[in-house]
Structure 1
Amino acid sequence: MTLDATSPGNVTRRSILIAAAFLLGSCITAFASPCQFESQGEGRVAAIVDARNVRLDDGRDIRLTGIEATTSTRQALTSQLVGRDVALRGTDDTPDRYGRQAALVFIGEADTSVQEMLLAQGDALVSAEIADKDCAAALMSSEAEARRQKKGNWADPSAIKNAESPDDILAGIGRFMVVEGKVLSVRQAGAVTYLNFGRNWTRGFAATISRRTLPAFESAGIALKSLENRRIRVRGWVEGTTGPRIDVLRVGQVELLGANEPNGVRP
């Protein structure tokens, strides 16, 4: 006996196939990288300009957004990217004043960006410039896993600077650093809020937050005064003369740490 298209058996089979297809699609979506922004084109990597920039064979210079370099970044890029076909994704393909296009870079049809791979290997640091929360969280997660496993840059105990040793931080002036410590006081002076990590305000390490950045912290549910006596991790470019500081321009530059986290590593 042959079942027609509307028979209960065929309807059941079609329902099962549709449900399976829906579940498969949901799984693919669930496991896809959250950094899948709009396509900004494709190309082949001809050269590594420096630890943050690559040049395509059509002459375009691409800046790898979302990361800052470590001593091993350039070598990692050279081994992974030269001669490879890549896809570019991002929120804005407008070149910067140096003619560089900022983008997340994907090798071939890969779902994971080169940035995430570098972070997972300990060959880069999260820059906190990605505004998209899900993508930013994915990058942070990749870095955190490398930190837990002491891979690459994180094999060096001095990769995270101690806020109680301002001289060590000041020695890296002009460099991008990750600093951890306890906020001893939160003070406002004019349009700037200071997160002070030392009792000597002129020589101790401080993170500074301008008034125009406050709404972003408020939107994230973080009251700056609540950071007093909390352990936090701050990342950014070190500035200063007598005492080192990092200017916090984005909420992602600040991470709250649990009281029992050794060296800031989350369990």
Structure 2
Amino acid sequence: MWAFGLAVLLLATGHAQADDRDQPLARAAYDACVPADAASIAVEKSEEDGVFVAPSGQRYLASELHVPAPRPKGALSAAGLVVGAAPGLEAVATGPENRWGLTPAWIVLKDGETRELLQAVRLMSGAAVFAPDREDSVCAGLLRLAETAARREQRGLWGDKMAAPVYSAARPGLLEEKTGDYVIVKGRVVSLGKTESTRYLNFGKYWKTDFTVTLKASDEAIFDAALGRSGWQVEELAGKFVELRGFVQVRDGPHMALHHPEQLVVLEHPAFD
């Protein structure tokens, strides 16, 4: 937990310069996210954004990130400068190769004995959005913190209102226009519903047109465990203001399916409920 505490302290220090906070947070993210005994392999940046190639030809994708398109001016160049300045790059696989021949991985910036996590660097520069897929707990908290720093200081895509993928759950028509996009949605849960296989978070009274979020009933315990760290459970979310992230689909109105507990965050504190 020391890494998360250090990063929170650095982010909260208002008089510190942004660049002064970047390296400690990126190092803390490396310590929290990359297993100490994990095997790594040297890679080089490819022409595909977020893809890195090993000498064998194996391609690695920087996991836990989503880059909105079109990208804002400055976001890509900022990330490129960081990578270009690093003496070495390593990939640590986080899962099996996907259907496109890409292996999700942590990408490590290596400089002598120093190790920094590229994912944290890109999030702090505003070059990407945190897209939780595998990691949770301290690691996910640090990556979310890195994104929060960029959002607060309006770096990269967060400095361009047209590029920042943040929308209100109260505007289902606009959300429906974003079908197929990875977005962040904020809104108040109007009601909850459930069937034997599915849990529903309803953000309006009319399910055929309003925004709806679902998660599998079999995943509810996992979501409860994650929400429990801040004092909540899924069954208590009616009336709560939340933030969600994921791909928008259309299913009798805009819809988002949650597969990972870090896709859902309550923006209220139970002590003030």
Q: TM-score if structure 2 supplies the norm length?
A: 0.75
Q: Which residue does the alignment assign to 1:115? A: 119
* Aligned residue pair count: 228
Task: Give the letter for the 1:35 counterpart.
Answer: C
Q: Secondary structure at the match of 1:139?
A: helix
Partner of 1:86: 89
Unaligned runs of 5+ in 1: 1-29, 260-267
How big is the shift at 1:131?
Answer: 2.5
Partner residue of 2:144 out of 123, 140, 143:
140
> Which one of the candidate residues 171, 174, 188 is aligned to 1:168?
174
> Aligned pair 1:196/2:196, yes or no?
no
Once the two structures are overlaid, the 10-residue window that deviates more, 31-40 or 249-258, is 31-40
Alpha-carbon distance in 2 for matches of 1:212, 1:74: 39
The whole-number CA distance in structure 1 between the counterparts of 2:224 and 2:109 is 37
Q: CA RMSD in A?
A: 2.4
Structure-2 separation of matches of 1:108 and 1:247: 36
Moved more, 56-65 or 114-123: 56-65
- Unaligned regions of 5+ residues in structure 2, if any? 1-26
Alignment partner of 2:60 out of 59, 62, 67: 62
Whole-Å separation in 1 of the counterparts to 2:176 and 2:77 = 27
| Equivalent position of 2:238 in the other structure | 228
Q: Select which of 135, 150, 155 maps to 2:154.
A: 150
- Distance verdict in 2 for CA 1:76–1:241, change over 3 Å: farther
2:40 maps to which residue?
41
Q: Which amino acid aligns with 2:185?
A: V
Contact 1:52/1:68, CA 8 A, preserved across alignment: no
Preserved CA contact (<8 Å) 2:45 2:51: no
Change (3 A) 1:54 1:91: closer
1:239 maps onto 2:249 in alignment: yes
CA distance in 1, matches of 2:173, 2:87: 43
1:254 matched to which residue of 2? Answer: 264
Larger-Rg structure: 1
Relative contact order (C-alpha < 8 Å, sep 6+): which is higher?
Answer: 2
Q: Note the C-alpha offset of 1:79.
A: 4.2
C-alpha deviation, 1:57, in angstroms: 4.2
Mapped contact 1:164–1:181 kept (Cα < 8 A): yes
Residues 178, 97 of structure 1: alpha-carbon distance in 2 compared, 3 angstrom cutoff: same
Query: Is contact 2:40-2:90 (8 Å) kept?
Result: yes
Q: Percent identity?
A: 21
Q: Give 1:116 shift.
A: 0.3
Contact 1:45 1:86 in 2 (8 A): yes
Q: Report if aligned partners of 1:63, 1:103 keep a CA contact under 8 Å in 2.
A: yes
